[in-house]
Amino acid sequence: MTSVSTHILDTSAGRPAPGVAVTLEVRTGAEGPWTPHGGSATDQDGRCKDLPALPDPTTHARLHFDVAPYLARHARPAERGPRDAFFPEVAVVFTVTPGEHFHVPLLLNPFGYSVYRGS
């Protein structure tokens, strides 16, 4: 079984980011079309543990994080304006090896983000 999990840490607040919508898409082949495969939202610990297993023969997966609503709720007054989030969404594409687990954490702040393959 090939599986995906993620979590989000708000590095500007030093804590997890709950309530962020996350969608998962899959494709077969580098040029194949993206197919919606599931979605969830981060829990109080910023984790999204209930994404569905990836179907065979998935070669690429994409996690889409809708971070704008979370950032707007947690913006400091100096950060508010016509655009509460410099990056309103984050899309992470990664290659898939069948049978492995992929944990893809997102480190988020109002003006930047970083991702990595976790364990």
Query: What structural domains does the chain harbor?
Result: 3-115 (2.60.40.180)
Q: How high is the pLDDT of residue 83? A: 53
pLDDT tens track for 58-112 = 999 999 999 999 998 887 666 555 456 789 999 999 999 999 999 999 999 989 9
Q: How high is the pLDDT of residue 85? A: 78
Q: How high is the pLDDT of residue 9? A: 98
Let me know: does 67 contact 85? Beta carbons within 8 Å: yes
DSSP letter at 68?
A: H
Q: How high is the pLDDT of residue 81? A: 56
Q: How high is the pLDDT of residue 3? A: 96
pLDDT tens track for 11-68 = 999 999 999 999 999 999 999 999 999 999 999 999 998 999 999 999 999 999 999 9
Segment (H or E) for 46: none
55 closest CA partner among 26, 14, 88: 26
